Structure 1
Amino acid sequence: MNKLMFFTAEERLSRHNDLASILPLGFRAGSARFEVNNLMHTTTRINHPINIWYQSQVLLRVIDAFVYVRFGKKDSMPQHAGDVNKWRRWANPLAQTVALVEGVDPAPILLSKTDIQVRIKEYGAYIVTSSWMTFTGLTDDQIQMSDILLDNMRLTLDTLTRDVASGTASQTTASNGTPTDTFINKQDLDTIVTNLLIQNTRMIKGQVNAGPNQGTSPIRAAFIGICHVGQRTRLSNVSGFKHVANYAKPGEIMPDEFGTTDDIRWLLTNNATRATATTGYENLIFGEEFYGTVKIKGNSADAPLIFHGKNQVNSPLERFTTLGWLQNFAAEILNDNFGHKLITTI
């Protein structure tokens, strides 16, 4: 049987010193505290040769919704036919309500027409990249640059269309809003819809019939309304507003659509025009062939996106490349009676 062992103070000190001799380097006997050893390799002494990791999945790049160019009448013209496009609209003669006299021909009637012309122009932009950047940089950067330029082209064409459509002479300022007269409201919108229908304006979207899902409802045939994202709350407060979540058929929802107010289906974009920089909004409501867009088929360049390598630019030492876009385009109001702009505040 093992006997209990008792040690004198001197013996306990001796055993403590022996323990210290077998502890790992950097620990002090009799405590759990760790001490940094001056002979240790740390990142202060030997720093990492590369201490940055680049995420190739780039951050989200936001851009305005391109909505205006979707709805205009889209036409094109052939190459080598000039740079002016002409549309023609015939007027309807009045009803012939006078009875004919037996054996007598009536006087001939005259038809009338309206011509609308627009001159097509070119638009474009490009960037210059040094050959050294291309030589030393990541190839992913070149892809991002191409995407940015293509979006810039789309934004340019949409903005050109917006400026023409929003320049309509048919406009009013809201006057029946609650609690402020100039808020967007059902009464002013109904008046605009009625005036468009009086002009025989055709609606752009057909009716969406009721579906089986609970809480959904049919959607009327409708004109298109485009307004600024800042109008979102006021628009949802209009009497009778239905959010797209309540549409009977989700497949009928247009990109960037927010909802409907009776005979108008609304799309939101930050690219919508503003009456003032801070409070005023211009809400555009229109039907078919209110405005049109036209371009010449093909392009004066080989493609919309144009790349010139370092051996194609005017650089004796091949010091840079270029990348850009080029498009010919024009937009024009075709019938001012088919659209209206309601000016509101928030």
Structure 2
Amino acid sequence: MEMNLQMFAENTQTTAGLSAEMKTYYGMELLENAKPQLVHNQFAATKGLPAGGGKTVEWRKFGAFDKALKPLTEGVTPDGSGISVSYITKELAQYGDYTTVSDMLDLTAIDDVVLEITDRHGSNMGLTLDTVTRNEIQQGKQVIYAPKIGSDGTKTDVTSRMTLDKDCRMTSELVAKAATQLKKMNAPTFDGKYVCIIHPSVAFDLRQDEAWIAAHQYAGATELFSGEIGELHGVRFVETTEAKIYRGEDLAADSRTLKVNGNVMASTDVTFNGGTVAAGALAGRYVVLGGTRCQVVSNTDAKLVLDKTVTVGDKEVIYPGEGGKQGCAVYGCLFLGKGAYGVVDLSEGTEVIVKPRGSSGTADPLDQRSSVGWKGIHAAAILYDEYMVRVECGSSYSDEDKAN
């Protein structure tokens, strides 16, 4: 017999709930299932929620002292150095989700179906809060673009995301370059090592590198972090499918690309064909045409209005502009030093909410509704931009991976 778990999917506005013991049990289940998803949060400096329930969290940044190179004079107390302190603030935001279930389930006892729903919500919470953190720290200003590697091994420098393709792969040389940049900035380490958060598609390419193969041929891996797959050039690699992928969605309902319909001379207006596009559907999106990346201000079903002028010929292909060359997937690989960014302490701001059947009063006159959900308060911020480097690259899977 199949159960429709959304049979009565209306929000129930009540405050009644379970016993303290049951709340603790389900809460532990939720958090345990959230932890494996919190890859981007595990390397952050954590901060408790503000006292008094304020809506802003604050991190302090301390400046370094100058070298004390002047010799001391006997019997003379020198002037001391002051400490510079700056502050980074971030607005707290609340996130959450829930599932309403039918009266066929009993939430007053530990139920297998309820546990399954709680487990799924735990995973959902972890993924949600991890993505909030990831999207924030992907905005760092230190970026290295992977060079294009030819079939004969020659390298061609790449200077922008939109020109990256699947031949711009992660290599041991890029790893060393990113690690060197962090060392030059005196970025602190995690027990002597830096960390890189990497997508499995990028990890596949890196594992083919001779330096990686040599480094892992005999060494036994000692995993310190969730998802860790190995170490190279003083960098520990943590693999997750939630590592950032930049790739635009299809431009049309029935086509990935569009085509310019008629020559365009130094204009922001571009007529197109080659696909079915609803009016306004592309507003805010990025496109690449004639080697220029533009943002779409507005669109009809046959014309784009861009944020800059372009000169392109008839039948020029218009590609999605959020990813790499011809719209392929680009991967943002984060190389991190300790203390590069901060997040709020998740244990203080998250909770599971289980409301058993019969807890809704007149809002549920036949005692038909129960619900399982979660909510959490979260914020993330870059604290020391110089302690993080984003290597943007393609991979062997750039033509098939989707944005996340």
Q: TM-score normalized by structure 2?
A: 0.58
**Counterpart position of 1:308:** 355
Checking the alignment, whether the CA contact within 8 Å between 2:92 and 2:378 is kept in structure 1 is yes
Residue 228 (str. 1) matches residue 277 (str. 2): no
Query: Shift in Å at residue 110 of structure 1?
Result: 5.1
**Counterpart position of 2:383:** 334
Cα pair distance change 1:107/1:69, threshold 3 Å: closer
Cα pair distance change 1:197/1:177, threshold 3 Å: farther
Cα pair distance change 1:244/1:82, threshold 3 Å: farther
1:253-292 deviation line (CA, Å, top 9, x unaligned):
5432222221211111111111335431111101101111
Checking the alignment, whether the CA contact within 8 Å between 2:146 and 2:174 is kept in structure 1 is yes
Query: Shift in Å at residue 103 of structure 1?
Result: 9.9
Structure 2 matches for 1:169-248, cutoff 5 A? 169-175=141-147, 177=149, 179=153, 181=156, 182-204=168-190, 206=191, 221-242=192-213, 248=219
Query: Shift in Å at residue 124 of structure 1?
Result: 0.6
- Compare the two structures and name the one with the higher strand fraction: 2
Query: Shift in Å at residue 91 of structure 1?
Result: 1.2
Runs (5+) with no aligned partner, structure 2: 3-32, 157-167, 249-327, 396-404
**Counterpart position of 2:18:** none
Query: Shift in Å at residue 201 of structure 1?
Result: 0.7
Over 3 Å off, 4+ runs: 63-66, 96-111, 132-135, 176-181, 242-255, 295-299
Query: In structure 1, what is the Cα distance between the partners aligned to 2:124 and 2:365?
Result: 30
1:61-93 deviation line (CA, Å, top 9, x unaligned):
9x9854111111122135415122211122123
Query: Shift in Å at residue 152 of structure 1?
Result: 0.7
Cα pair distance change 1:201/1:254, threshold 3 Å: same
Checking the alignment, whether the CA contact within 8 Å between 1:242 and 1:259 is kept in structure 2 is no
Matched residue of 2:134: which SS? Answer: helix
Runs (5+) with no aligned partner, structure 1: 1-49, 53-60, 207-220
Residue 113 (str. 1) matches residue 162 (str. 2): no
Query: Shift in Å at residue 130 of structure 1?
Result: 2.2
Cα pair distance change 1:170/1:142, threshold 3 Å: same
* Higher RCO (CA-CA < 8 Å; seq separation 6+): 2
**Counterpart position of 2:394:** 345
Residue 283 (str. 1) matches residue 333 (str. 2): yes
Cα pair distance change 1:248/1:261, threshold 3 Å: closer
Query: Shift in Å at residue 295 of structure 1?
Result: 3.9
Q: May I ask how many residue pairs the two structures share in their alignment?
A: 267
Cα pair distance change 1:337/1:247, threshold 3 Å: farther
Q: Which has the larger radius of gyration?
A: 1
**Counterpart position of 2:231:** 260
Aligned residues with identical type, % of pairs: 22
Query: In structure 2, what is the Cα distance between the partners aligned to 1:343 and 1:148?
Result: 32
Cα pair distance change 1:243/1:152, threshold 3 Å: farther
Matched residue of 2:335: which SS? Answer: strand
Structure 2 matches for 1:1-346, cutoff 5 A? 65-77=37-49, 79-98=51-70, 111-132=83-104, 139-175=111-147, 177=149, 179=153, 181=156, 182-204=168-190, 206=191, 221-242=192-213, 248-252=219-223, 254-276=225-247, 278-295=328-345, 298-299=348-349, 304-313=351-360, 314-346=363-395
Cα pair distance change 1:103/1:239, threshold 3 Å: same
Cα pair distance change 1:270/1:102, threshold 3 Å: closer
Q: TM-score normalized by structure 1?
A: 0.67
Query: In structure 2, what is the Cα distance between the partners aligned to 1:141 and 1:296?
Result: 26
Cα pair distance change 1:225/1:311, threshold 3 Å: same
Matched residue of 1:304: which SS? Answer: strand
Query: In structure 2, what is the Cα distance between the partners aligned to 1:64 and 1:262?
Result: 26
Query: In structure 1, what is the Cα distance between the partners aligned to 2:61 and 2:111?
Result: 52
Question: What is the Cα-based RMSD across aligned positions, in Å?
Answer: 3.4
Checking the alignment, whether the CA contact within 8 Å between 1:79 and 1:297 is kept in structure 2 is no
Query: Shift in Å at residue 241 of structure 1?
Result: 1.1
Query: Shift in Å at residue 101 of structure 1?
Result: 8.7
Amino acid at match of 1:127: T
